[in-house]
Amino acid sequence: MSRGSTAILLLALSVTAGSCGGSAPPTGPAPPGNTFRITIGTNGVVSPNELVVPPGTRVLFTNNHNRSHDMTSDPHPEHTLCPEINQVGLLRPGDSRETGNMVIVRTCGFHDHDDFDNRSLQGRIVVR
């Protein structure tokens, strides 16, 4: 190969390599938001305090209160009734987090581990 051919080949390779570094094309619309939600309001109260969901659902917990809440499954302190809820865990002000998949048909109580006697921070997720 002559010097001229080598130079052209190197130039072509560098242009091709440089054009490959762009962002990937979009893969379609973003998935819709979770419609099954429990919110801790600015007043420190969960709403709704009972939510009915179909099996396989994840529930999104959002903390709009000015302090952290450690949301866990009943009973206290074992948290063994519905371990999927324990995936929510500690929510700082402004945080949101989903439960695991709620696949077993049952009623799951939840509470704030650090304020377990506070009825305003207790509720139920009914899977049916």
Check if the beta carbon of residue 121 is closer than 8 Å to that of residue 40: yes
> What pLDDT sits at residue 17?
44
Query: What's the rounded mean pLDDT across residues 77-86?
Result: 97
Q: What is the mean pLDDT of the chain?
A: 84
Each domain of the chain, given as residue ranges in start order, spans 37-127
Around Cβ 94, how many Cβ atoms within 10 Å?
Answer: 10
- Asked if residue 50 lies in contact with residue 123, where contact means CB atoms within 8 angstroms, the answer is yes
Angstrom distance (rounded) from CA 98 to CA 96 = 7
- Please give the torsion angle defined by the CA atoms of residues 62, 66, 68 and 74, in that order, rounded to the nearest 10 degrees: -60
| Mean pLDDT computed over 62-68 | 98
Average pLDDT over residues 97-106: 97
Report the percent of the chain where pLDDT is more than 70: 75
pLDDT tens digits for 5-25? 544 544 444 444 444 444 443
Q: What confidence tens digit (pLDDT) does each residue in 107-122 have?
A: 999 999 999 999 999 9
What's the pTM value of the predicted model, to 2 decimals?
Answer: 0.74
Q: Is the pLDDT of residue 49 over 70?
A: yes
- CATH code linked to domain 37-127: 2.60.40.420
